[in-house]
Chains A and B, each alone.
Chain A
């Protein structure tokens, strides 16, 4: 097993153990969906219409609150020094960290989505587009989020700053992702267009975010 695989395995393991982030992410995701459902009231037709966008927003928010931990814990116990010192290509290591975040946060959210779709009276035809848009879009959320986490890792508390940095970068992902999910249910031709834009955004993030994260990490080493 090489170093990067070991990092992914370790991060996923830590996230799924007690006190790790996976459970929190799914719990928060569910809470947000339930709150929206309550706020929308008993009108089932309204809930169906907003179900896909609400799930997308909830997934984005759940991802957002989990970002701080990507690098902070490692920095505080000295593991980040070891990871950076043993990394031959820091950008690839940053990509591995983002991949680990997606596996421990994005994937559980995707798995939980069908259940929450039921709660929100999601249309039968909307499940597949919603899941597909999440599968394509959540890696972008992890990649961009990991970049914001790397940028702010040397600050004592960075939750607000991470939200400010990441919001404009997340907005296009949300627009395309939720747009694809809604259009897919209706059989709208916008569905394919939104998916293509979403894929392009994820690919762009996959190339840019690790490079930017590596530069940010290097600037943040004490």
Chain B
């Protein structure tokens, strides 16, 4: 778990999911999902509420058990690990502790992700949080709190990003900044799968839709 799966030109990873099926409480939610993404590709995941976008992303993140199929992160020379290890999942919740300062939250995540402290400043700057380092996270507005939560995408140093409604409470400037960050990640050879209802403009992103299937 301490390995870095960072997207750099030297390290490129592929995302391969095939035949993924998930059921909960005896009811089939997702059947036979397959998705193949190469370095530099972005997939926008769309679908109605309750379609299972969050379920799918959480399954890729290793937080949910799959009933069938597999999802792997592969290096260019064929070595592969489970997506649970090779991806960073940023869900609708921010994982921010209100009683800690912004910096304390960042340092905590850096310790969990085994990230050198120097990257904290970079992540903070990328999301426009430099002025708020010493403030209690509870004093931040919803939008800034979201930015703080999203900064984990950079801190984790993984090649594959799984973002669930990332732009939910962000203003136009912040959405723009987020799009640029995803572009830079693509440029480095990273992959992003973003579930969203918003219109995100990311160059050459594939749109994938979850549609109603037949009940199992």
Binding site for B on A (CB under 8 A): 1-3, 5-7, 10, 13-14, 17-20, 76-79, 81-88, 221-222
B111–A2 touching, CB < 8 Å? yes
Interface residues of B in 174-210 (CB under 8 A from A): none
Q: Is the interface of B mostly helix, strand, loop or mixed?
A: loop
**B111 and A79 contact, CB distance less than 8 A:** no
Among the stretches B9-17, B31-39, B45-53, B90-98, the one at the interface with A is: B90-98
Cβ-defined contact, B97 with A14, below 8 A:
yes
Shortest CB-to-CB span from A63 to chain B, Å, is 22
8 A-B contacts, Cβ less than 8 Å apart?
A1-B111, A3-B112, A7-B112, A13-B100, A79-B95, A81-B91, A85-B63, A85-B89
- Besides A13-B104, A77-B96, 9 other CB < 8 A contacts? A2-B111, A3-B113, A77-B97, A78-B91, A78-B92, A78-B149, A84-B63, A87-B1, A88-B1
Q: Do A85 and B97 touch across chains, with their CB atoms under 8 A apart? A: no
User: B2, A88: Cβ atoms under 8 Å?
Assistant: yes
Complex CA gap A221/B104 in Å reads 26
Given contact pairs A14-B97, A14-B99, A88-B2, A222 touches B64 in the complex (Cβ within 8 A): yes
Chain B residues, CB < 8 A from A82? 95, 109, 112, 152
B10 nearest CB across to chain A (Å): 24
Complex CA distance for A179 and B97, rounded to whole angstroms: 41
CB distance from A17 to the nearest CB of B (A): 5
Do A78 and B99 contact each other (CB < 8 Å), given the known contacts A83-B112, A85-B61? no
Chain B residues with CB under 8 Å of chain A are 1-2, 58, 61-64, 84, 89, 91-97, 99-100, 104, 107-109, 111-114, 149, 152
Taking chain A's interface residues, is the majority helix, strand, or loop, or is none over half, making it mixed?
helix
Q: Is the CB of A81 within 8 A of B99?
A: no
The reply to whether B62 and A85 contact each other, CB–CB distance below 8 Å, is yes
Once A78-B93, A81-B91, A86-B1 are accepted as A-B contacts, the answer to whether A17 and B111 lie under 8 Å apart by CB is: no
Contact residues in A for B1 (Cβ distance below 8 Å): 86-88
Q: How far is the CB of A92 from chain B (nearest CB, A)?
A: 11
Within 8 Å CB of B2, what residues of A?
A: 88
Task: Using known A-B contacts A82-B152, A84-B63, A88-B1, determine if residue A18 contacts B99 with beta carbons closer than 8 Å.
Answer: yes
Specify which chain B residues have a CB less than 8 angstroms from the CB of A84 in the assembled complex. 63
Nearest chain-B residue to A10 (Cβ)? B108
